[in-house]
Chain A
Amino acid sequence: MFVMCLAVPAEVKEVRGHIARVDFGGGLIGEVDVTLVEAKVGDYVLVHAGYAIQVLDKEEALETLKLWKELLEAEQEL
């Protein structure tokens, strides 16, 4: 299923020029164009229509999860 505004995360396995081999998980390996980003092996990129559009920030992802937890624990906040 192709959804236009959807982008899916994938892990960069190898970079050759502007093409990278990425792992979408579940054994799905593909090639994407990484012209738009500075991607290194091990990075997670957001892939949209065959092009990586952003490198996902792992620290920020963890930070978001932490923040959510905290927010919910802060009972008196409301």
Chain B
Amino acid sequence: MLEKFRDRELSLAVAEKIKRCMPERKVKFCHVCGTHEWTITHYGLRSLLPKNLEVIAGPGCPVCIVPSSEIDAAIELALEGVVITTFGDVINVPGSELSLRQARSMGGDVREVYSVRDAVEMAKKEPDKEFVFFAIGFETTAPSTAIEVLRSEAKNLRFLISHRLIPPAMELLLGLGELEIDGFIAPGHVSSIIGLKPYKIFPEAYRMPTVIAGFEPLDVLFSIYMLLRQVRNGEAKLENEYTRSVTWDGNVKAQKLISRVFDVVSGRWRGLGVIPKSTLSLKKEYEHLDARKFYKIKIGKSRDIYPGCCCHLIMVGKLKPTDCPLFMEDCTPQTPKGPCMVSIEGTCGIWARHGVRLYR
């Protein structure tokens, strides 16, 4: 069935619809998901869109927004002899000085895992070592961390929680005002967990058209068309393109697990500053599993932005990678200068790996 969601002919037909629905003025839509950026770039969807329709990438790369202070904390633990387990790309992201990969070459035991479950199994197999799972990711990943916190099968495994929530970051973008976004393409997988409900405020309080979209090229094109129809009709509604996975209530079981294990607190996003009620933190009753408390981690001064890198502006859609003078000059996937290039979900990284040089 999947091929049907990638059908070239249908894609061209939707692109044609989009052209006919397009007003004369400039229109700008914003997505907030690394996977959406990947689909858009990989399938060359921007080339199908009218010149005055722009689709920009917001802060949707879960690896890019982890503040360096938290990476620094993981590095410190690794260098003290704690085994750090975390998801792939994170180990390449520079903290204030070093990356976890560099910490590994200095003797730290840093391991990539595909799932929090792998961390649990490793910790069980090596009971005389101390393990920490560095838990990053949005609402899609938080439920699995919650499950393993509750199961607590390995007594030598603690959690460095760095989970962030998407809707507050979308609100931050609207607060920036000058971005002049005409609509949101909301992320389908995060929404599979949280449902449609939390997005209600965007049309209601901000009059911002919002469409939840899946990840196949046709999903994205159709969601753009749905947004454009709203723009043309002067409406602001919440619509769901990804009905095969997203419901109004979302995955209630997963939400219950999240709220049972975590409190929602304010937290720093790399390059974006502190966003209110955007970060998960372990509840008091799970304090014994909280690496921050157990190791008395102090978050000190840190450096989020490297000289010359404009990741922080790319993450809010103010600049495109090709606007950065370092893009593909000093900064490449082999010699990344910022988190947006390191991660395969970062906008710079996606564009670089697809050979995008000049945009339009």
Chains A and B belong together in one complex: yes
Chain B minimum-CB-distance residue to A72 = B13
Chain A minimum-CB-distance residue to B245 = A54
Chain A minimum-CB-distance residue to B10 = A68
- Beyond A3-B35, A49-B115, A78-B21, is A33–B147 a contact (Cβ under 8 Å)? yes
Contact between B114 and A49, CB atoms less than 8 A apart: yes
Contact between A5 and B253, CB atoms less than 8 A apart: no
- Beyond A37-B251, A54-B192, A78-B17, is A5–B147 a contact (Cβ under 8 Å)? no
* Bound CA span A57–B251, Å: 13
What sequence of 0s and 1s flags, for each residue 36-78 of chain A, a beta carbon within 8 Å of any chain B beta carbon?
A: 1100000000101111011011101111110011011000001
- Interface of chain B residues 219 through 233 with chain A (CB within 8 A): 222
* Bound CA span A50–B190, Å: 16
B144 located at the interface, meaning its Cβ lies under 8 Å from any Cβ of chain A in the complex: yes
B53 to A: closest C-beta gap in Å: 16
Contact between B34 and A68, CB atoms less than 8 A apart: no
Q: Kindly name the residue among A3, A9, A33, A60 whose own CB sees the greatest number of chain B CB atoms within 10 A.
A: A3
- Beyond A35-B147, A78-B21, is A5–B189 a contact (Cβ under 8 Å)? yes
Contacts of B60 in A (CB 8 A): 5
Chain B minimum-CB-distance residue to A50 = B115
A28 located at the interface, meaning its Cβ lies under 8 Å from any Cβ of chain B in the complex: no
Q: Kindly name the residue among A3, A4, A69 whose own CB sees the greatest number of chain B CB atoms within 10 A.
A: A4
**How many residues from A make CB contacts under 8 Å with B?**
33
- Beyond A5-B138, A49-B144, A51-B147, is A68–B192 a contact (Cβ under 8 Å)? no
Chain A minimum-CB-distance residue to B343 = A4
Contacts of A63 in B (CB 8 A): 243
Contacts of B99 in A (CB 8 A): none
Contacts of A56 in B (CB 8 A): 244-245
Contacts of A48 in B (CB 8 A): 140-141, 144, 189
Contacts of B215 in A (CB 8 A): 6
* Bound CA span A35–B218, Å: 31
A15 located at the interface, meaning its Cβ lies under 8 Å from any Cβ of chain B in the complex: no
B2 to A: closest C-beta gap in Å: 8
Would you give 29 A-B contacts (Cβ < 8 Å), ordered by A? A3-B35, A4-B63, A4-B140, A4-B345, A5-B190, A6-B35, A6-B189, A46-B192, A48-B141, A48-B144, A49-B114, A49-B116, A50-B117, A50-B118, A51-B117, A51-B144, A53-B143, A53-B193, A54-B192, A54-B193, A54-B245, A54-B251, A56-B245, A57-B245, A62-B1, A63-B243, A68-B14, A68-B218, A78-B20
Other contacts beyond A7-B189, A36-B257, A58-B244: 6, CB < 8 A: A4-B34, A5-B62, A5-B140, A53-B192, A69-B10, A78-B17
